[in-house]
Amino acid sequence: MKWDEQAIFAQSSPYNIKVSPDATYSSTGALLTGTLTDPSDGGINFGDDTRAATRKSDTTDVSWNLRWRHDAWTVTTDLQHIKAKTNSFDSTVATGIKLPQEKLDLTGSVPNLIFSDAERAYIADPKNYYWAFTMEHLDRSKATETAWKTDVKYDFDHPVLRDVRFGVRLTDRDATTTNSNPSYNWQAITQPWQVGPGGIPQLAYLSDPRFAGNTSLHTFNNFFNGGVSVPAVVFPNVSLAEGYPGSYATLHSYYDMLCADAGNTCTSGWKPASFGVDPSGTNNQSEKTQALYGQMRFGWDDLKYPVDGNVGLRYVKTKSNAQGYIVYSSTAPTGGNLTGVPIPSIAPFSKAQDFENNYHNFLPSLNLRLKASDKLQFRFAAASALSRPDFTQLQGYTTLSQTADTVTNTTTGVTTVNSVSQTGVGTGNPNLRPTTSKQVDLTMEWYFAPTGSFTAAVFNKRLKDIIINQIYNYQLTDTKGTPQNFTVTGP
C-alpha cells in the first residue's frame, strides 16, 4: 500500500489574533464577519505539508483438519499456524506561510473565507513560503499464532437426551512491534521561535535561491463539487517526503546555513529517529488461552408443544505478558531568550515496563425452543460471554511529550511562552480485562409464508469492563524536584 496527501493547518497563537473593528457579531456575541490579523507574529502562520506513506504486509496460514466417526462417537480436530509481518514508513515535510490577513464570513450554512485576487496571488507565490518542519515514523511488526481445537460428540439413543459434546481450545500467540524513537519524530527546520539573537536571523524562505525549489503549486479542482473556489497553495514535492533520510538532511542544513549567516555557532541538531537499534522502541506481547467446555442437547418431542434446547458450561483461562517502554521527549524551546510561562526542565528518558495479566472465567449457557405450531415458535436464552481486548490494545508502550505555545519578537529575539502542554498517549494497556456480559433474551418467530416471517424479541444484557479510551495523569518530576502531571489518553 502506498499513498500521499497534502494538508493545511493553522500554526498561530490564538492569544495574538486581532479582529478588525468592522467585525459583526450575533446577539450572543459570536463572531459573524470580520478580518483577522496577527501583527505580533508578522502574519497569521499556516503550515502546508506533504505526507507520504507505504506499508507492506504478508500473512501465511497453514491449517489441518481431521474428522473421525465410529458408531455414536464423532471426533473433530483442527490445527492452525499463522505467521504475519508488516512494515511501514510515514513521512511528512512542511512549508509555512504568514498570511497578512484572513477575512471570514460565518453567516451562511458553511464558513466562508474571502480572498482577494492579490491575496490569491500571494498564497500562490513560492517566495512567500519558508521550510517549516519534518516528521518521520517507522514501524514493523511480526506475529505468530498457533491454535488447536478438538470436539467430541456422543449421540444418545434416548427419547429426551440427544447428544453430549465436550472439547478443548488452546491458543498461543505472540507479537513484536518495533517503532521508531521518537515514534513520530517532529523536528523544526526553521520556526518563528528560532529567530533572534543566538539563533537564526530569518526563516528559510524559498525566496532565497539556496532554499528554492522542490515545491509544487496544488490547485483544488472541483472543491465542494465545484461550488467553492479555493486558492492554489504551494506544497513540498512528494519526492522530499519519500527521499528520507537524505532529503531531510538537506532541509535541516538550511538552519545551519542561516546560523552561519548570523555568525552564530548554533546547529539544527537534527538526527533521524532511531529504529531497530534502541530497545525503547520495541514492544513484545504474548498470550496463551486454554478453554474446556461441555454441552448437553435435549428435547421433548412428544409434548403438545415440543421443547428442545441445550445447556452448557465453558471454562476459559487467559495468560498474557507484555514488555514495553514509557518514553518522554520535549519539543519545547530552550535557551536564554525565553519569557512568560516557565518551561519545566525534564531530561528525555525511556523506561522499560513489564506486565503480566492472568484471569479465568466460567461461562454457563442455556437455550430453549418451544414449537407452538408449524409456523410459530418461541426461543429463550440465558448466557454469560466474554470478549477479550484486541491484541493492539494490550501493548505496553506509552509516549509522553512536552510542547509550548510561543511567540517570538523578531526584533528583540525574545520568545514569549504563552502556555506549556504536557500530554501523553498510551498505545495500549496490558492490564485490561475482557469485557464480560450476562444476557437474557426471549424471541418469537412467526413464519406466515414460505418467504415471509415476523420476529419480535426482548432482551436484557449487562456489560462489565467495557474498554474505552480515557484520560489519566502520569507524574514526572522536573530537575527542581517539582511534580509535573502529564495528561495521558489511553485504554
pLDDT 10s digit of each residue in the chain, 491 long? 999 999 998 878 788 899 999 999 999 999 999 999 998 888 999 999 999 999 999 999 999 999 999 999 999 999 999 999 999 999 999 999 999 999 999 998 888 889 999 999 999 999 999 999 999 999 999 999 999 999 999 999 999 999 999 999 999 999 999 989 888 999 999 998 888 877 889 999 999 999 999 999 998 888 888 777 889 999 999 999 999 999 999 999 999 999 999 888 888 888 899 888 877 788 899 999 999 999 999 999 999 999 999 999 999 999 999 988 888 888 777 766 778 888 888 888 888 889 999 999 999 999 999 999 999 999 999 999 999 998 888 888 888 999 888 877 767 777 888 888 999 988 889 999 999 999 999 999 999 998 999 999 999 999 999 999 999 999 999 999 999 999 999 98
- The DSSP H or E segment spanning 252 is helix 246-261
Per DSSP, the three-state class of 190 is coil
- Any idea of the CA torsion for 428, 432, 435, 436, to the nearest 10 degrees? 170
Domain boundaries, the chain: 1-277, 282-490
Helix H, strand E, coil C: the string for 124-146 is HCHHHEEEEEEEEEEEEEEEEEE
pLDDT computed for residue 410 by the predictor: 65
Which residue, 149, 150, 153, 151, is CA-closest to 73?
153
Which residue, 205, 108, 159, 182, is CA-closest to 350?
182
C-alpha grid cell, residue 214: 522542490
Measure CA 480 to chain center: 34
Q: Report the DSSP beta bridge partners of residue 385.
A: 437
**Which residues neighbour 102 within 8 Å (Cβ) at sequence distance 6 or greater?**
35, 36, 37, 44, 113
Question: Dmax over Cα atoms in the chain, in whole Å?
Answer: 101
Contact indicator for 311, 368 with CB cutoff of 8 Å: no
Cis peptide before 245 (omega within 30 of 0): yes
Beta-carbon count within 10 A of 271 CB: 12
Q: Find the angle CA(199)-CA(202)-CA(206) to the nearest 5 degrees.
A: 135
Q: Find the angle CA(127)-CA(130)-CA(136) to the nearest 5 degrees.
A: 140
pLDDT computed for residue 335 by the predictor: 65
Alpha-carbon span 312 to 291, nearest angstrom? 13
C-alpha grid cell, residue 71: 458408531
Which residue, 149, 154, 189, 188, is CA-closest to 171?
149
Q: Read out DSSP for 468-490?
A: --EEEEEEEE-TTS-EEEEEEEE
pLDDT computed for residue 484 by the predictor: 92
Rounded to whole angstroms, what are the CA distances from 227 to 107, 217, 223, 224, 230? 17, 21, 7, 5, 10
pLDDT computed for residue 426 by the predictor: 87
Q: Convert 150-162 to b/e letters by CB count within 10 Å (16 or more is b).
A: ebbbeeeeeeeeb
Alpha-carbon span 415 to 195, nearest angstrom? 9
Work out whether the CA dihedral 472, 476, 482, 484 comes out positive or negative. Answer: negative
**Which residues neighbour 170 within 8 Å (Cβ) at sequence distance 6 or greater?**
147, 148, 149, 288, 289, 290, 291
Q: Convert 286-320 to b/e letters by CB count within 10 Å (16 or more is b).
A: bbbbebebebbbbbeeeeeeeebbbebebebebeb
Predicted TM-score of the model (pTM):
0.76
